[in-house]
Structure formats: structure tokens, C-alpha cells
Structure 1
């Protein structure tokens, strides 16, 4: 809606590209695709009302931008409709959230991580929040570099997937 989460996603993609073939897509496109068969699924979203957005929170945010906004489907709906993965796969979750006040609760990243684990994904790292100065942005200084570094660490950390029973 405001470009902050998309900018973080691009920075994460930059950190992954030396190690993986990277494909990015907005949630509206992902909803029409079959379950991804990937080495590492990275999912991100902005924090709305202390968690993952809903149609109502997306509608509220859409009123603050002239950009076209997808109201009907968000990460919450996409993950809630997803089928479980047949064998353990790696995933990572990130989100953007307001930096001030620092005690402000809620995290889209944590909600994404919980849903990914429920689907059978193994999280390659703890969910990560990247901070914006205000609801519409901008990103806090250094957050894009931090996102690239986080992704590079994801790519180079040796995964420890749970063993599948024989």
C-alpha cells in the first residue's frame, strides 16, 4: 500500500539471489498459483492492527493512498487457505511495523510464522520485523541493509529439518 514492505521484500531478494533463484509475487498472484515447491519460502506482510491485515484494515489503509490496493486477499487469507506441505520444507517470515513506541505490541511476522509452522514448514530463522517511522513510512534508516543481511544469513545457515518417519 505504501511500498515499505515491498522495499523490504526486494532487499531480502537481493540477499538471497547469490544463493537461490528468486521469484517474487504479490499475494493476489500467489493465491492463484499451486503450492510452491521451493527450497525456501519467504513470506512477508505489513502489521495492521497488531497483526496480519484483514479486509477491513486493508480498506482503512487504502483510504490513505492513491495507489491501487488489493482488498480482498492478504497473507492471512492466503495462508489460511493453503494446503499443508507433504514433507518438511523451509520457510521464513518477515513483517513491517511502526517503530514508535518501541513497546507497541503485534507483529505480522509472528502471525505468518505461526501459520507457516501450522502448514508444516520449518522456520529457518525467527520471524523478523523491519521498522517504519510512521504508518505510511518511511522505513527506518538501515532497515533495508538489515533485511539484506537477514536474507543472506538465511541463505547460508545450514537447515535442520525435522526427520520424516520411515
Structure 2
């Protein structure tokens, strides 16, 4: 099984979650790559089984150029203000014969535990519009403040998400057609 984790991260928190999700996938035997959205392919490979996409919640959704510029004013690294997950998903093409399953996650400030809208559900919605199959409900991870760090226990939850997503993937057939 092959997976790709694509993330957008202004302060490094979403990147931490992405890397832990990937570690959880790899721990279950999934071949996984991790890439920042600016380096992510817009043409998904035909052998990709799972695409995991994560982004910070900005103004109750995915970031926009103005919200990324605002994050830079709040201390984010300026080179992270380029195109985000929203723009990447809008330009994404997927193989028609074998579109990968998609899972979404977001990071959000813990002072607002419940949001009427967040980046994760927006990712899932845009992925469906691109013809991708959503594998699991979006997951939100908490940060203690705009710049982080992640709240206690979130790293563990991220690894567990990766493990759960790996378990959702169908078993690969072995040499005799028997699932491994």
C-alpha cells in the first residue's frame, strides 16, 4: 500500500502532525511519503492508495493568501505563505481508474474547541469535488496558541490516526491472490 501525506504549516504544528500520521502509517507497513504542499504533485500517481491532507484552520476554513500573510505578521516563516492546500486541491488531478482514498486533518487553537467550520471538513469537501473518495471523518488537532505548541497528547493522537488509516486500507493481495 502507498500513501502520501501533504501538509500546509505556518508555524510547524501541522507539519508535526503530518509527520506523526506518516509514522503511524509506516508502522503498519504502508509505504509513505510526506511533502509540504508547495512541493506536492498536482498529478497523483496511479498506484497511490491513500492521500492524507492536513492544514491549519484560518478564519474557520482553509487558508487564503490574506490569512497566510496575517500569519507571517504573527511570526510565521515568510516562505510558508505561498500557495496552500486550497489552491493545491483546486488544481489536483487524480487517476480515473484508481483514485486514492483521502483523509483530512486540521490544526486549530484550543481556546475554540468546537468550530462551526474548520479546515479538515473543507479539505474533504474539495477532495470529493476532485473525484476522490473520503476514507474517514476529518480529524482536528489542538494547538495551545496561534503559534503553538500542540496541546498535550496530540502527537500521540496523530500517530494513532495514521495507524487507524492504515487499518482502513484493503490488504494487498499476495503472490497467489490471497490477502497479506
The TM-score with structure 2 as length reference comes to: 0.81
Q: Is residue 2:153 matched to residue 1:134?
A: no
Q: Hey, what's the Cα distance between the residues in 2 that align with 1:134 and 1:111?
A: 22
Aligned residue among 18, 21, 40 for 1:12: 21
- 5+ residue gaps, structure 1, are 160-166
Aligned residue among 2, 6, 21 for 2:11: 2
- Where does residue 27 of structure 1 map in the other structure? 37
Shift of 1:118: 1.2
Q: Hey, what's the Cα distance between the residues in 1 that align with 2:158 and 2:82?
A: 28
Shift of 1:106: 2.3
Aligned residue among 145, 150, 161 for 2:156: 145
Contact 1:90 1:123 in 2 (8 A): yes
The TM-score with structure 1 as length reference comes to: 0.87
CA 66–72 in structure 1, closer or farther in 2 if over 3 Å, else same: closer
Q: Which runs of 4+ in 1 moved over 4 A?
A: none
Aligned residue among 29, 36, 53 for 1:43: 53
CA 85–55 in structure 1, closer or farther in 2 if over 3 Å, else same: same
Q: Is residue 2:129 matched to residue 1:118?
A: yes
CA 47–36 in structure 1, closer or farther in 2 if over 3 Å, else same: farther
Contact 1:85 1:120 in 2 (8 A): no
Shift of 1:109: 0.6
Q: How many corresponding residue pairs?
A: 158
RMSD value over aligned CA atoms?
Answer: 1.7
Contact 2:43 2:92 in 1 (8 A): no
Can you list the C-alpha shifts for 1:134-161, whole angstroms capped at 9, x where unaligned?
A: 11111110001001101101101255xx
Contact 2:43 2:94 in 1 (8 A): no
Deviates more, 1:42-51 or 1:104-113: 104-113
Partner of 1:110: helix, strand, or coil? helix
